[in-house]
Amino acid sequence: MARKPTRTNLSVLAQLCKLIPGHLVSKVAREYGVDKKARTFSPWSHVVALLYAQFTHALSLNDVCDALKNHAAKLLRIRDAVAPSKNGFSHANRERDGEMAEALFWSLLNHLTTVHPRFGGQRFQGMPRRFKRAVHAVDSSTIRLVANCIDWARHRRRKAAAKLHLRLDLQCFLPAFAIVDTAAHNDNKRARELCAGLQAGEVALFDKAYVDYAHLYELTMRGVFWVTRAKDNMQYRVKKRLLKKPAGKILRDDLIVLSGAASREKYPPVLRRVRAMVEVDGQKREMEFLTNNLEWAASSIVELYRSRWQIEVFFKQIKQTLQLCDFLGHNKNAVQWQVWTALILYVLLRFLAFANGWQHGFKRFFCLLRSSVWDGVSVASLASLCGTAGGAPVMRAAPEQLYLPGLG
């Protein structure tokens, strides 16, 4: 007999929202003055509505409002949340400070990692195991917007976009710092803000778009190690060759100093340049890497930079599963609310997966819960039916052949 998920009084959406402390949203709303402007549509109802929109990939304001009204009784069980009107939802997205959503995200993440330290301290797959220090990947991802509706984010004549700058902790695969801004600025303009929280001994990985020699020198003086790609036009002089001849995939390993007048003034100390053959999309390519660490093995430097690609996996996860293509509003506050709510939902789902011993991919867990968003079934039992939380997956002893009438 097929197993069925355990029934409960709370819907899957309610179980998800229950992870947010009851006082947190009202506390953050008071800090940003949002509670004073709210009437019937409370800040808590606003957060729940946006989480639902992210969870179900809602395409419009009417899509969200109609669905929530149809499930008003179940919605009321989520700490008395109420369904908004279309105008009320639009007004809240437009007028309520988007920085409240940012503050809510960091407060929630801090709460979950404090109450359950193993959630923030778990070791994620894809990291070299010999590195015990915290390793952070820094990168950005562009979010396309509608140019003829969004003037504040216009960065080309016919294009508009927002950009998510992120510092990802590769040990636990959780955001450590993030900035939601327009795409008009170069990545290196945000490098200092993204790396401001790094401690001595930690490692930062970023591509050459973030290379700013003055900033790299600041990181070195703070005791932060970093690995990046060398720019094609970098002017330098080899001071010492650490590798006499190519060894395996490592072609060169040199200590260098910058020879350009401006760059040498910004970064006076010795740098290390490693040239290696790296496999990209199934093809071997020659790449040059820069670092301020003179003691690591050259292969460790290459392997560290390869782990930087995990941040691309993170961006792929949130863009393919969460609602970051169709926006419910066009002004800056509305876009910020939707982006930060997407990150809130990501953290909540990651925590549920962690708490229930989920071993499959994030996308499968997202789809599993989305299919039962209003059902009163236990998330733990749903996870166990997939053979992860309650034991090994159930496999058939022999495959069954498909039968079609008339085809022998």
Residues 251-275: tens digit of each pLDDT: 999 999 999 889 999 999 999 999 9
Looking at residues 363-370, what average pLDDT do you find? 92
- Percentage of residues in the chain with pLDDT exceeding 70? 87
Rounded to 10°, the helix 310-321/332-355 angle is 110
- Percentage of residues in the chain with pLDDT exceeding 90? 59
Range 357-363 contact pairs with CB under 8 angstroms and sequence separation of 24 or more: 357/383, 357/388, 357/389, 358/383, 358/388, 358/389, 359/388, 360/386, 360/388, 362/317, 362/321, 363/317, 363/320, 363/321
State pTM to two decimals: 0.86
Residue matched to tokens 């990947």 = 137
Confidence label for 404 from pLDDT (cuts 50, 70 and 90): very low
Between 81 and 397, name the one with better pLDDT: 81
> What six digits make up the tokens of 159?
């294009």
Angle at 42 between CA 36 and CA 43, to 5 degrees: 80
Residue matched to tokens 């034991």 = 391
The full 3-state SS of 196-265, as one line of letters, equals: CCCCCCCEEEECHHHCCHHHHHHHHHCCCEEEEECCCCCCEEEEEECCCCCECCEEEEEEEEECCHHHHH
Sign of the alpha-carbon torsion through 230, 234, 239, 243: positive
Domain boundaries, the chain: 12-101+329-385
- Each residue's pLDDT tens digit, 300-358: 999 999 988 889 989 998 988 998 877 888 888 998 999 999 999 999 999 999 998 88
Between 393 and 39, name the one with better pLDDT: 39
Distances (CA, A) of 379 to 11, 74, 116, 173: 9, 16, 18, 22
- Each residue's pLDDT tens digit, 46-62: 999 999 999 999 989 99
Q: What is the model's pLDDT at position 1?
A: 46
- 3-state class (DSSP) for residue 108: helix
What span, in angstroms and rounded, lies between the C-alpha atoms of 369 and 349?
Answer: 9
Using the predicted structure, report yes or no on whether residue 407 has a pLDDT greater than 50.
no
One-letter amino acid of 232 = D
Using the predicted structure, report yes or no on whether residue 226 has a pLDDT greater than 90.
yes
Angle at 5 between CA 343 and CA 58, to 5 degrees: 35
Confidence label for 129 from pLDDT (cuts 50, 70 and 90): low
Reference 82, options 97, 71, 95, 93; nearest CA is 71
Using the predicted structure, report yes or no on whether residue 396 has a pLDDT greater than 60.
no
Residue 111 burial (CB count, 10 A): 14
